[in-house]
Amino acid sequence: MIVGIIGGTGVDSSIIESEKEHKVTTPYGDPSDMIIEGKIGNVKCFFVLRHGKGHRLNPSIVNYRANIHALKELGVTHIIASAAVGSLKEDFMPGDLVFTDQFIDRTTQRKSTFHDKDRTMHIPMAEPFCPEMRRQLTETAKRLKIPHKDKGTNVVMEGPRFSSRAESELYRSWGADTINMTMLPESVLAREAGIHYAAIAMVTDYDCWKDTVVDVAEILETMKGNADKVKRLIRSVVPELKDNNGCSCATDHKHAFV
């Protein structure tokens, strides 16, 4: 078992004991940044910053295919990805972590498959996030007394702009819990690659349905506390992950080609 960690806003490579950097080139271009090899306990890990150093890549231009392909080439079997999200419900409070179990795709500009030139893959996504990894994250968060939700439906919008109030209210009427800009196509590509994938969503704000405006400075301040929780959680859960999850995440792609 080799674990990939995708660091979203506020989560850096200090989460692992680093050993060396890898510059990886893929058929889909370069990943967001150098990929850092290290360990958590006795588990080999590879870390990549989703937005690159200095947060230079906005959510719509991140090369998600290159990031996932590079991790796959390095032998990664499980991915834990952190992501900042806005809340669409009163009880999903800033500071909470959410172990997302469903998504609604509102993106329009992104390459969402590795197979757009050779064959068609109809990857099943009824359960988009690894249920066993989510269970282990939930159990570990309970033990660490970290405020969390064990499931949630996340709307993934294009970005990099935030929602209009009308959009925010629309997504609330759909029953969605959170909103962000990066869980797609990342989770879909991981499934195509046969990698177990789980997201740790960090609630930073109430989107604009509740607040007059989404304030970046306030988000970053909340993010500091969230990032510390995520680091503690990942360092605790990685040594406990199971190599064989008893789910279909690693095999769905084998039966999805037309």
C-alpha–C-alpha distance, residues 61 and 79, integer Å: 21
- Rounded Cα distance between 13 and 7, Å, is 8
Annotated catalytic sites, by residue? 205, 207
Residues 6+ apart with CB under 8 A from 144: 232, 233, 236
- For the four alpha carbons of 240, 243, 248 and 254, in that order, the dihedral sign comes to positive
Compute the distance between CA of residue 191 and CA of residue 79 in angstroms, rounded to an integer.
10
146 vs 94: CA distance, rounded Å:
13
Q: Is 36 helix (H, G, I), strand (E, B) or coil?
A: strand
Pull the structure tokens for residue 45.
Answer: 């890990």
165-172 long-range contacts, CB within 8 A, separation 24+: 165/208, 165/209, 168/88, 168/207, 168/208, 168/209, 169/209, 171/88, 171/104, 172/88, 172/89, 172/209
Smallest Cα–Cα separation from 186: which of 199, 177, 171, 201? 199
In degrees and rounded to multiples of 5, residue 12 shows phi and psi of -115, -175
Contact status, residue 217 vs residue 99, Cβ threshold 8 Å: no
